[in-house]
Structure 1
């Protein structure tokens, strides 16, 4: 039984074409549902504080969410292969769509930014908004109609706010988290609130 103030988190097994990916799913009634992509490679994973906070913030706001481990990481089967990150994310997106319906948003941490943007561009029929947390570089291109929020730490950001704002264009936005570093050892609650506000409002600015 789930009591008031509690959030149901259940394990998810994602079929990725012969590979099984470990995932964690939060149920919810609001849409869009949120897929959270962890950074591939060493040091990544769905238990990174920023990845977990994005999933929990979505749950607190009533949005379903799914975060996952790439192949060969955690309990996911297969051999680690950062070159297959998009394949893993695509499988997780399809799993979430089957579980929570077709209205989806995508969030990503660090090096997963390119994966999230490519995934959203390939699924424009169901994804229209993306949240990039501490992206390592400005995106080279944004798919038409895709609304992108970049959230960066105040200290040590790999890609600066001004550069990101120019790359995202008029449909995008950059949020700087005061006092945060690239690992978000501070500022996690504000990170979560900014991400959920973006997906809940369809990318509209506050008050719109």
Structure 2
């Protein structure tokens, strides 16, 4: 487990290099994202990793991951709260939660975040990464789950205070296959999450610091 956490830290550091070394085009896009996010709202968008960085992330043995950036300004005392919820047969059985506070002047500026899962035979390793580091936990893996489907968005989304965004999810079934459910409405929990045998939900909300 210790080795796994060290590797996660390395992956987050490598992925951050892409965001720190942005081109003029990337800087212009960053400014545009900042304009889209008004007071007490944030723009969340998928992070683009280079081929080399993707290869390095894949080599550390993470089965499912999503990297994304956060831009915008929030009010004093507010934070981005990130969670991984685990469901079995529609019931919430585990939750991993952390919060990220803004940098200078209550602003997030292309802040890199991530959700990651490493599947095991009996237990799954869960990680939430952010500019302040990461938190990790574990959730039991049902023995009879045979097929998995991972859904995550390719477009950006704006989070206002009090809203929850279901950024990505992993669902599993004891059947032989699953079909895509899509992620059209990121602010609504997909009904399939509670209908399938197993689900891991990656969500965020902008709210008061805990």
- TM > 0.5 fold call: no
| TM-score interval, smaller chain | under 0.3
Rg larger in structure? 2
Taking structure 2 as the reference length, the TM-score comes to 0.26
More helix as a share of residues: 1
Structure ranking higher in strand proportion: 2
